[in-house]
Structure 1
Amino acid sequence: MKPLLKPIRLVGALGVLALLAACGGGEPATRSLSAASDLPQVSAPAVAPLWNVVGVSVDVPQSLHVSEANLYYPIADIVWRGEARGDRRAQVRAIFTDAATRATEGMHKGRPVTVDIEVTRFHAVTEKVRYTFGGTYSMKFLVTLHDAQTGEEIGAPRFVDASHPASGGQKAIDEEARGLTQKVVVTDFLSKAIAAELARPVSAQGEAIASAQ
């Protein structure tokens, strides 16, 4: 049995050498990964936007469905009861135009731009909701900036969700008595939402930087 000892020892020695070789071969890869992770992450610097707003346009697509049903929650894109019954798309367009004009009236520095707004949803509350428990003004739209001289689009269209609680019951009645009608409330809130969107930091490439939620 003694002659078998040398081959066994030889096999064992070869195994140890193989393990050492494997460990030695993996070390450069580990150093490489470590070096890569130490590299600084390059990103575009955020800058405060300066716009010289020379025009505002608002589009309320004909594809948006309008409902006059006095239900708790009509299935529609446009639900508006803050004015007498009429062309609801025209009424919504006027509200957004007024709000955007107010939001940009002090913006006269920087690159000349036009502000284009496309309404995607304007779901206010019905009479049933207004005079019971209240609800939510669900107002959503896209904001796109264009160079006023070339028409070039500046960054991608920005989606804005300006939804806001809607008063109901006695609170709504008291607000209306003080002049805080639905139209006054939503116009004021939209104006602030549009101004805040245009004041958001942008990267050097002109892309708006999303705020942390």
Structure 2
Amino acid sequence: MKPIRIFVMAVAGLALAGCSSVDTATRNAPAQVVASGAVPVDQLSFDIQEIRVSVPKSLTVSEANRYLPKADIVWREDAPGDRHAQVQAIFEDAMARGVSGLPQGTLPVVLDIQVTRFHALTEKARYTVGGVHDLEFLVILRHPETGQMLNTPYQVTADLKAFGGSAALEAEARGETQKVRITDHLAKVIRTELTSQEGYKAPKHGVLGFLNSI
């Protein structure tokens, strides 16, 4: 059974249970019509009821001040401490901003974000050559009550150019710290993932793009 079929059947099940309905143009369509594919998947829209962000403790952390430390998490702009918790707070802020103001959809879901990599710049890289903020995370949509996955989890690569040297200093003077830029960027990325069929820089990765690519 193809992933798209699994998803549509799950939607139909939710509709039958009274937990959901299809999008505005087909709000009253029978669940069987949805399951049959008569309702285009790209007409489905999401009602984000909760955002859950996890940063697994299995992700390695480096505090080495090298150009490119070998680790999953490299983060220096907060004071030394629990880097996993710091990264989680950044993602929670970004995801909340990203979904804020979106039109309320008809399919209630939990947006489950699992961070797989958060590699910002060390002090050495930031004040010399700069580089790339290497940001990666999994996107999973779940049923709010059962926790059942409604899509095949997929990874988003949300790399962002990182300022270095004088450009970094000038950005800081404008208030554009690494945290500010990364948070703003991640908010835009998740908003694109949830509203664009193409997704963020990769047509096959957007939630709607994923559904329509099967």
| 1:78 aligns with one of 73, 80, 86 | 73
For 2:78, give the aligned amino acid: E
Shift of 1:147: 1.8
Work out the CA distance in 1 between the residues paired with 2:208 and 2:75.
33
Work out the CA distance in 2 between the residues paired with 1:120 and 1:208.
21
Work out the CA distance in 1 between the residues paired with 2:211 and 2:169.
37
Work out the CA distance in 2 between the residues paired with 1:157 and 1:66.
24
Which residue is equivalent to 1:199? 195
Unmatched segments (≥5 aa) in structure 1: 1-41
Q: Does 1:167 align with 2:167?
A: no
- Residues 172-196 of structure 1: CA distance to partner in whole angstroms, max 9, x if unpaired? 0011011101100000001111111
| 1:53 aligns with one of 39, 42, 48 | 48
What is the RMSD computed on CA atoms of the aligned residues? 2.4
- What is the SS of the residue equivalent to 1:151? coil
Does the 8 Å contact 2:109/2:142 carry over to 1? yes
Distance 1:85 1:48, change over 3 A: farther
Work out the CA distance in 2 between the residues paired with 1:211 and 1:86.
43
Does the 8 Å contact 1:49/1:199 carry over to 2? no
Work out the CA distance in 1 between the residues paired with 2:166 and 2:112.
37
Does the 8 Å contact 1:49/1:200 carry over to 2? no
Work out the CA distance in 2 between the residues paired with 1:164 and 1:131.
17
Which residue is equivalent to 1:151? 147
Which residue is equivalent to 2:9? none
Does the 8 Å contact 2:41/2:212 carry over to 1? no
Q: Does 1:176 align with 2:175?
A: no
Structure 1 stretches of 4+ with a deviation exceeding 3 A read: none
Which residue is equivalent to 1:132? 128
Distance 1:188 1:48, change over 3 A: farther
Shift of 1:45: 4.5
Task: Normalising by structure 1, report the TM-score.
Answer: 0.73
Bigger radius of gyration among the two: 1
Which residue is equivalent to 1:8? none
Does the 8 Å contact 1:155/1:207 carry over to 2? no
- What is the SS of the residue equivalent to 2:117? strand
